[in-house]
Amino acid sequence: MIELKEIEGKYFDLMAEEMTIKEFENWVYQSKRLEEELNKDEYIDLISINYNSKSAKDEISKFLKKIDKGRFETVQLLNLLDSIIEGDEREEQALMKMYDFCRAGYDFLGLLGYEHGSNAVHSSDCYISCPSAKELAEEVKNWILNKQIVLTGELDTMARTDKWHFIDNRSEQ
């Protein structure tokens, strides 16, 4: 399974507003692993950020530009797919996110996003767990793990759209 470095995970928690700047700052000062993940100059730069300034989030973003967003997107998508496969308490939310991902350019999600995800979005009051969604999620997960689908984490600038770019290595069947 693909894993994020601790700093990558914390950064994306911050960007997704699952963590406050204050919590991020506390983590920076308390983390022992952080010094191992960064070189000395990077570590000093990170602890030197003024986390109380209004531009703290931007400063953190500039510092962490080199994080592989494609890897983050991959981990995030795999976690959502696991929720659908396992039918856990986040399954409905994960299906809704599949719909969002389809609309954002990940059209390889096909029926999982446009049908099952759309149903979860538009009729969540009568949502029920769907076995075929599980099968589709397993198929998509296999594509990702086998590198048949590679998420880049970048917008498709060649198509001049605001759609997310991915590499499709699946052979036509």
Classify residue 116 by its DSSP letter.
I
Q: Taking Cα atoms as reference points, which of 89, 117, 87 lies closest to residue 101? A: 117
Residue with tokens 């696991």: 82
pLDDT at 88 over 60: yes
Query: Which pLDDT score, from 0 to 100, does residue 27 have?
Result: 92
In tens, the pLDDT along 16-41 reads: 778 999 999 999 999 888 888 788 88
Q: How confident is the model at residue 126 (pLDDT cuts 50, 70, 90)?
A: very low
Query: Which pLDDT score, from 0 to 100, does residue 127 have?
Result: 47
Q: Taking Cα atoms as reference points, which of 171, 169, 167 lies closest to residue 152? A: 167
**Residue 98 to residue 58: CA distance in whole angstroms:** 28
**Residue 129 to residue 133: CA distance in whole angstroms:** 8
* Residue 47 · residue 28 · CB < 8 Å: yes
Terminal CA-CA length for the chain = 27
* Residue 106 · residue 164 · CB < 8 Å: yes
Any bridge partners for residue 170, and if so which? none
Percent of the chain exceeding pLDDT 90 equals: 31
